[in-house]
Amino acid sequence: MRTLAGMVQSYGLTIFWVAGGLCILAELAILRAAFRPPPDLSDPTLVPVSPRGTEMLWALVPAIGLGLLLAATWRAVQ
């Protein structure tokens, strides 16, 4: 029979990996949006696009932060 502490640790580890996987999927979606080719600007109905450097910066800073948070959390779990 499993102890309560063992069950909590097992559920905690499962929740950690699910949350980590979802963060990775979200960050991949953000990076994909930032690094995809810019839209064709010949269509006058499109909204103006912000500078590519700003887009990439807003995508990379959270990616680095999430990576550091994942590493710190993993170290704390172990």
Nearest Cα residue to 54 out of 42, 38, 73, 69: 38
Mean pLDDT of the 42-48 span: 64
CB atoms under 10 Å from CB of 78, counted, come to 5
Of the chain, the percentage scoring pLDDT greater than 90 comes to 0
Chain centroid, CA 25 distance in Å: 6
Confidence of residue 46 (pLDDT cuts 50, 70, 90): low
In the predicted structure, residue 68 carries a pLDDT above the cut 80: yes
Confidence of residue 8 (pLDDT cuts 50, 70, 90): confident
pTM, to two decimals: 0.50
Confidence of residue 44 (pLDDT cuts 50, 70, 90): low
42 touches 32 (CB < 8 A): no
Q: Where in the chain are the domains?
A: 50-78
